[in-house]
Structures are given as structure tokens and as C-alpha cells.
Homo-oligomer: A and B are copies of this chain.
Amino acid sequence: MATPDTRTQILDAAEQLFAEHGYRGTSIRAITGLAGANVAAVGYHFGSKAELMAAVARRVSEPVVAAQRAGLDRLLARTPEPSVDALVEAFAGPLFDGMSVDEGGARRSRLIMAILSDPANEVRGWTGPAEEAVRTRYLAAFARALPGVDSAELWFRMRGILAVTAVDRLEVHQGSSPGCASSVAGDESRRWAITFLAAAMSAPATRG
């Protein structure tokens, strides 16, 4: 097992530290220190700290978005009107897959949270047209499955999906709540989230 090149090691270290301490809470020196590289390597390989963050975000989000798109394609190939449950599974599932505790799964999950919640537009602004496009396609599919709910409320609910999946691994109650232990069992929380979100998405429209 040859050690990966400096660029990859910086990406790995940045992914871990950005997830643990956020964008602003992570210094270039901490990243290069963990990666065993020189401070100047970030400037050389990525240009700046912000561009490094963008590269990390791209690497993490690409397989998730691809899986979301593939899942929707698979559903639509079978029937033009997939069920709400199937749509929730296809949309939210990839946000959990590859996120098991082994390797860097939980780390990646926290990273997504760190990106979504960071107040700096510099960090949130990375969301590319690919994410946007797949979400729009899911919105259309949800709209067909839930004809009574208008599109504005559906957008709200899809944001709810992102919120629940993002906060999942975030230990809001820290070590004091009994539910905390469950956040380690990634598979269980995945099934809980699907149950929770499928019921939420299926709710009848709010009476105007």
C-alpha cells in the first residue's frame, strides 16, 4: 500500500478536520500538519483554503448526488409515478449510504452538515447545478405522488429531509441523552429516518 500523493492526503485531512471543527475552525496549518505536508502545499495544489474546501465538498457530494439520480432513474423506469416511500428512500438513502461508522462515514456526514449550516456564503455557495437539478427532478416526482400539496410546501418538506438527515449524526444532546448511543448504529438511524421522513412527506397538504 503505497502512500497516496500529497494532494490526496491533504484532501483526506481537510475532510476530517472540516467535519470536526468547521471551515473557520480549521487552519491550513492543522490540515497540512495532519497530512504530513507543508503549509505551502495547499496553495500549490488548490490555490487557497476556500478552493480546498470546494474540492473537498465536490469529492463528498458527487457520489451522493449520483446515487440520488440513479435511484430516481431506476424508479421512473419501473413506473411513471413512484410512491412517496420509494422516493424518500431513493432521495434520503444515499445520504446515509457509505456513511457507516467504519472509515470516514460519520465524518463525511458531519461534513455535509458543516457545509449546509455554515453561515459563510463562501462555504455554502459550492452547491453546484448537479445538486440543484436532481432536487428539482425529485420535486416533480413528489408533486405527482402528492397532487394535493403545492410546490412551495413540497420544497419546504424536501428541505426537511435534508435537515433531518444532516442533523442525524449531530449529537445535539451530547452524551447525556439515551438516544445518543443510537447515533453510532448508522443502519438503525437510517431506517428510523426513512420511517420518519416517509410519514412526514406523505402528510396531507396544510389546509390553507
Contacts and interface: CB of A to CB of B under 8 A. Distances in A.
A120 B206 contact: no
Interface in A160-199: 160, 162-164, 166-168, 170, 172-174, 176-182, 189, 191-199
In this complex, the member of A132, A152, A157 whose beta carbon has the largest number of chain B beta carbons within 10 angstroms is A152
A199 B195 contact: no
A172 B199 contact: no
A21 interface: yes
Most buried by B among A157, A174, A202: A157
A120 B170 CA distance: 12
**Which of A155, A159, A170 has its CB near the most chain B CB atoms (within 10 A)?**
A159
A200 interface: yes
Interface residues of A, number: 62
Contact of A24 (B24, B125, B162): B24
Contacts of A51: none
A97 interface: no
Contact of A200 (B158, B170, B197): B197
Contacts of A24: 22, 24-25
A147 interface: no
> How many copies of this chain does the complex contain?
2
Contact of A21 (B114, B116, B119, B177): B119
Contacts of A135: 173, 177
Given A119-B22, A172-B116, A172-B162, A179 B196 contact: no
Contacts of A81: none
Interface string A134-154: 010000000000000001111
A101 interface: no
A21 B123 CA distance: 11
Nearest to A200: B200
Contacts of A168: 156, 159, 163
Interface in A72-114: 110, 113-114
Interface string A5-26: 0000000000000011110110
